Amino acid sequence: MKISVKLTIALLAVMILTVSVSMFVCHFRPLISSTDWTASMNIKSQDPVTGEVFHLLGRSDTLFIRFPAPMPEDSRGYTWFSADTSRKFVAIPDWPRTSPYLHFNHDKAIGVQVTDGKVNDDWQSEWAEDGFSFSNPRRIIAITKSNR
């Protein structure tokens, strides 16, 4: 059986493209919208705000939570939070990137733990069977498993 030169070149191009895209996606791991979790935030003297929950492609235990832009009077306007449900770890991440798609560089740590002294905002976190919550004097954030 003889394979033509054009077919060989086409197959080689497809293989190179597949490997390149796979390496790119592996390093800049996409954030996928999660239907397994819901997020809400109560800020002092305001109506509750619903957030979006994402997980890393291939890592359903690594969550990223995005809330709408904070109110101008909120001096520490947190928009993104991250959590590792397997290690019971809640953090303030370096924001995920949106170009060319919503992604997080998987080589980075998922953020600075909210209870770390660097954050200095009196955070506390609590873990339960059906989710977790974390709070500081100005806000309470609850992440719960969705009822499916």
> pLDDT digit string (tens) for 89-146?
898 888 777 777 787 776 667 788 887 777 777 888 899 989 999 998 888 999 999 8
Average pLDDT of 8-19? 89
Predicted model pTM: 0.76
Residues 6+ apart with CB under 8 A from 94: 108, 111
Q: What is the pLDDT of residue 24?
A: 66
Per the CB < 8 A criterion, the answer to whether 62 and 84 are in contact is yes
> pLDDT digit string (tens) for 34-76?
999 999 998 876 788 899 999 988 788 889 999 887 655 555 6
